[in-house]
């Protein structure tokens, strides 16, 4: 099976897998009325805001009781940042009320930015109960111990509700969290790749056939996720690009026929590449995560090799190094730049380590060489030079690859 | 000295040692530069040059080891990626050739070496 077929099959399997995961996840989930969910969440959080702002050392017990009943029980854990950002903890809501009244006898004014909340898709919990997460900005200000206290913080409200008679109801605040701090992820991949060199002139030539090659590349990368979904990263990769040009036979040169047929000219370039990219991730399930990268890759050529072979028409023997092109390397550029893209799935073995599988592409943008053969059209079949680097127009490198590897999270926690 | 620094120094020393001992060696295949001059000693540009690996093939002018080449404006042509063998050189230009003069490299070529020859045609 050719590599292109393998890559296509791999891609189809990957897409089917991702679709099947989505289907599996969505099998028992009702079709939600998003507007109704948003209205219900907004009503609950508005009530939370109003009652919160009525709590102080003189607050009526009915206010406290009503506030407490926004939560399913008094032990629900909420974020306590009443003592400043250096002392953020999680305490129960009943402890929070006591602390609030104690630290802010005149009350603590809270404003939730309900104009632009981010509401996740509800997830089934148990017994017809669903959980959803709402992210929004929260502002608080008050006076504590004679000092003005204020804070702006992104908060995640975890909201539970029941679904019965085809309608959501009984919305309560099931918990509160701070968004996870940034996460750093180190990944190591090995990439079997189908590579080649593209040149428009060569690709349309009837006799010079541009062939691709198979290699195995690999590298390390570091991705920093500054939010749940988005991040950016850099890495180092050792990449080989392999391709060959075949020709039926060399034409006579200056009246002499070299009697060489079935010509094959191999080209191998090795680069140290520095990928810089933006990254996206999304949980497909508890264990599986979709990951995608898009960015630029900067290459520095470290090795190169050119080889040629042909069959002697008279003897039938295969001869090697039938071309003397001493100047080809002087026409090559040391640096190049290209686009990179990766998409794949990570399977989390535990809280820190995962294994990766996916597909990727590198597409050169800058040319690899300075084409200087103005006589290419009249001399291209004579074997006086490597036609890949003599062809007019930009010659660029390209690779389609399968990524197989592992990743280790080195800091930060997953959002549950 | 920290462990990390020690690893780096050991790695560099190991690579340097391997290069020095020849365990890692990048070799250049033999090269042959030919300059063609006529009987007056004037350089000849545009002369056709071919290499053969036996005198028999040189005599028959068949099966050159590489494609035929032509000398540049300085009368030179460079053959690269050759083998460590003795080569027979044939040069022709405007009805003249080197059949009565130098025809071979005398000795086998060597890696990492560019042998320079002057060939007379008459």
- Domain match, A150 and A268 both: no
How many CB atoms sit inside 10 A of residue B58's CB?
21
**In CATH, what number is assigned to the domain containing residue A126?**
3.10.450.50
Domain-terminating residue out of A177, A197, A217: A177
Q: What is the pLDDT of residue B6?
A: 64
Neighbouring-strand partners of residue A261: A249, A311
CB B27 within 8 A of CB B111: yes
Please report residues of B whose CB lies closer than 8 A to that of A259. Answer: 62-63
Domain count, chain A: 2
CB A275 within 8 A of CB A191: no
Nearest to A256 among B29, B68, B78 (CB): B68
**In CATH, what number is assigned to the domain containing residue B81?**
2.60.40.10
Q: Is residue B83 in some structural domain?
A: yes
Q: Is residue A416 in some structural domain?
A: no
Domain count, chain B: 1
How are beta strands A260-283 and A288-312 bridged, if at all?
antiparallel
Q: What is the pLDDT of residue A329?
A: 85
Kindly state the helix (H) or strand (E) to which residue A142 belongs, with its residue range.
strand A129-144
Nearest to B79 among A319, A324, A382 (CB): A324
- Domain match, A159 and A294 both: no
Q: What's the CA gap between B33 and A258, in Å, rounded?
A: 20
The radius of gyration computed from the CA coordinates of chain B, to the nearest angstrom, equals 21
> A192 lies in which domain range?
3-22+182-411
Who contacts A298 (Cβ-Cβ below 8 Å, separation ≥6)?
A273, A274, A275, A276, A335, A336, A337
Q: Is B7 on the interface with A (CB under 8 A)?
A: no
Are A324 and B50 an interchain contact pair (Cβ–Cβ within 8 Å)? Answer: no
Which residue bears the tokens 């040169």? A253
User: Coil, helix or strand for A5?
Assistant: helix
Our CA angle for B37, B40, B45, nearest 5°, is 30
Domain-terminating residue out of A118, A147, A177: A177
So what's the ipTM on this one? 0.75
Q: What's the CA gap between A102 and A142, in Å, rounded?
A: 12
Nearest to A256 among B29, B48, B81 (CB): B48
Q: What's the CA gap between A344 and A359, in Å, rounded?
A: 6
Domain-terminating residue out of A126, A159, A177: A177
Nearest-by-CA chain B residue for A328: B80
- Domain match, A189 and A152 both: no
Q: Is B30 on the interface with A (CB under 8 A)?
A: no
Q: Is residue A148 in some structural domain?
A: yes
- Domain match, A137 and A57 both: yes
- Domain match, A12 and A111 both: no
Are A321 and B29 an interchain contact pair (Cβ–Cβ within 8 Å)? Answer: yes
Which 8-state DSSP code applies to residue A330? Answer: G
Which residue bears the tokens 């050719």? A2
Q: Is residue A145 in some structural domain?
A: yes
Nearest to B37 by CA among B105, B121, B112, B100: B121
Q: What's the CA gap between B72 and B49, in Å, rounded?
A: 11
- Domain match, A43 and A121 both: yes
Q: What's the CA gap between A52 and A111, in Å, rounded?
A: 10
Q: Is A232 exposed, middle or buried (0-12, 13-18, 19+ CB in 10 A)?
A: middle
**Gap from B50 CA to chain A (nearest CA, Å):** 9
Q: Is residue B8 in some structural domain?
A: no
- Domain match, A171 and A241 both: no
Q: What is the mean pLDDT of each run of 10 residues along chain A (416 residues)?
A: 52 50 52 88 95 91 92 92 82 92 92 90 88 92 89 91 88 89 92 95 93 96 90 96 96 90 96 97 89 97 93 93 88 94 95 94 93 86 92 93 95 57
Who contacts A371 (Cβ-Cβ below 8 Å, separation ≥6)?
A331, A389, A390, A391, A392, A393, A394, A395
- Domain match, A120 and A229 both: no
- Domain match, A364 and A226 both: yes
How many CB atoms sit inside 10 A of residue B88's CB?
19
Nearest to B67 among A253, A314, A315 (CB): A253
Q: What is the pLDDT of residue B23?
A: 55
Count of CA atoms in the C-beta half-sphere (13 A) of B68: 25
Q: What is the mean pLDDT of each run of 10 residues along chain B (122 residues)?
A: 61 59 70 94 94 91 92 95 94 91 87 93 92
Q: Is residue B23 in some structural domain?
A: no
Q: Is B29 on the interface with A (CB under 8 A)?
A: yes
Residues from A contacting B (CB-CB < 8 Å) are 250, 253-256, 258-260, 307, 312, 314-315, 319, 321-326, 382-384
Nearest to A254 among B31, B70, B81 (CB): B70
Q: Is residue B5 in some structural domain?
A: no
How many CB atoms sit inside 10 A of residue A154's CB?
13
pTM score of the predicted model: 0.70
**In CATH, what number is assigned to the domain containing residue A315?**
2.40.160.20
Q: Is residue A406 in some structural domain?
A: yes
Q: Is residue A116 in some structural domain?
A: yes
Q: What is the pLDDT of residue B99?
A: 86
Q: What is the pLDDT of residue A412?
A: 60
For residue A251, give both structure tokens. Answer: 């034409």
Q: Is residue A171 in some structural domain?
A: yes
Q: What's the CA gap between A149 and A141, in Å, rounded?
A: 5
> B57 lies in which domain range?
31-120
- Domain match, A11 and A35 both: no
């Amino acid at each position: 099976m050719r590599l292109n077929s393998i890559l296509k099959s791999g891609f189809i399997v990957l897409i089917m897998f991702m679709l099947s995961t989505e289907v599996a996840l969505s099998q028992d989930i009702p079709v939600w009325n998003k507007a109704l969910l948003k209205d219900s969440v907004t009503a609950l959080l508005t009530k939370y805001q109003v009652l919160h702002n009525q709590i102080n050392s003189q607050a009526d017990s009915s206010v406290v009781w009503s506030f407490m009943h926004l939560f399913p029980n008094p032990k629900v854990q909420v974020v306590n940042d009443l003592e400043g950002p250096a002392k953020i903890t999680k305490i129960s809501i009943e402890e929070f009320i006591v602390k609030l009244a104690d630290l802010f006898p005149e009350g603590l004014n809270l404003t939730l930015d309900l104009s632009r909340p981010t509401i996740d898709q509800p997830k089934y919990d148990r017994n017809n109960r669903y959980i959803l997460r709402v992210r929004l900005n929260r502002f608080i200000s008050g006076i504590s111990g004679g000092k003005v206290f204020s804070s702006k913080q992104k908060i995640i409200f975890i909201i539970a509700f029941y679904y019965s008679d085809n309608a959501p109801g009984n919305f309560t605040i099931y918990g509160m969290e701070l968004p996870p701090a940034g996460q750093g992820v180190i990944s190591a991949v090995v990439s079997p790749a189908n590579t080649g060199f593209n040149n428009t002139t060569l690709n349309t030539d009837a006799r010079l056939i541009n062939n691709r090659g198979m290699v195995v590349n690999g590298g390390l990368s570091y991705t920093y996720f500054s939010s749940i979904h988005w991040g950016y990263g850099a890495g180092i990769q050792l990449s080989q690009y392999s391709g060959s040009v075949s020709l039926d036979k060399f034409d006579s040169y200056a009246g002499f026929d070299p009697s060489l047929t079935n010509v094959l000219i191999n080209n191998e370039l090795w680069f140290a590449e520095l990928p810089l990219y933006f990254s996206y991730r999304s949980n497909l399930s508890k264990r599986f995560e979709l990951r995608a990268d898009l960015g630029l890759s900067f290459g520095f050529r470290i090795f190169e090799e050119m080889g040629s072979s042909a069959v002697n028409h008279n003897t039938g023997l295969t001869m090697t190094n039938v071309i003397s092109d001493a100047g080809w390397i002087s026409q090559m550029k040391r640096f190049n730049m290209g686009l990179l893209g990766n998409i794949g799935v990570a399977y989390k073995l535990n809280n820190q380590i995962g294994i990766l599988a996916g597909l990727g592409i590198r597409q050169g943008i800058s040319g690899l060489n300075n084409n200087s053969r103005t006589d290419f059209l009249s001399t291209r079949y004579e074997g006086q030079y490597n036609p890949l680097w003599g062809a007019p127009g930009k010659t660029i490198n390209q690779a389609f690859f399968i990524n197989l590897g592992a990743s280790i999270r080195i800091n930060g926690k997953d959002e549950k | 000295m920290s462990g990390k620094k020690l690893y780096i120094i050991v790695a560099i020393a190991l690579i340097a040692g391997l290069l020095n001992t020849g365990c890692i060696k990048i070799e250049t295949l033999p090269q042959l530069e030919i300059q063609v001059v006529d009987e007056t000693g004037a350089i000849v540009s545009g002369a056709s040059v071919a290499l053969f690996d036996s005198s028999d093939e040189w005599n028959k002018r068949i099966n050159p080891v590489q494609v035929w080449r032509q000398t540049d404006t300085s009368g030179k042509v460079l053959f690269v990626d050759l083998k460590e063998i003795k080569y027979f050189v044939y040069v022709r230009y405007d009805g003249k050739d080197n059949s009565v003069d130098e025809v071979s490299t005398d000795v086998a070529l060597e890696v990492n070496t560019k042998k320079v020859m002057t060939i007379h045609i008459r």
